[in-house]
Amino acid sequence: MNLRIDSAKVPETAGGWDTEHLHLESASKDIEGTKTGGFTPNVKGVVADFVESWASLVRKAGQDGERTADDLREAALNIIRSDSETAGLADLYAKILAEQR
């Protein structure tokens, strides 16, 4: 059997992306909560726009990471399924790959 995936590494890396998603989601919320009250009126508006924009940018980066994790899992499962010698293990491996976070 010539397995074309490292069965332990895939869930670890996909899980890593999931964790990054959580970190970035949290960072996004934190950025969103940045207080602008201390700035002068000339600057306050620009800071508010910046904060709003960055909360969105960081959230998007997290979501892209999450999508990468999903794609990686899908790719690994497709490889397992496409090989007649490992296809029978696909359901079991899907459980191992299941998103934890």
Q: Which residues of the shown chain bind another protein in the complex (CB under 8 A)?
A: 3-13, 16-17, 19-20, 22-27, 30-31, 33-43, 46-47, 49-50, 53-54, 57-58, 60-61, 64-65, 68, 71-72, 75-76, 78-79, 100-101
**CA nearest 52: which of 64, 65, 34, 38?**
34
Q: Which is nearer to another protein, 7 or 89 (CB)?
A: 7
Tokens coding 51:
């904060």
CB atoms under 10 Å from CB of 10, counted, come to: 21
Rounded least distance, CB 91 to another protein, Å:
19
Q: Residues with Cβ < 8 Å from 96, sequence gap 6 or more?
A: 7, 11
Rounded least distance, CB 89 to another protein, Å:
15
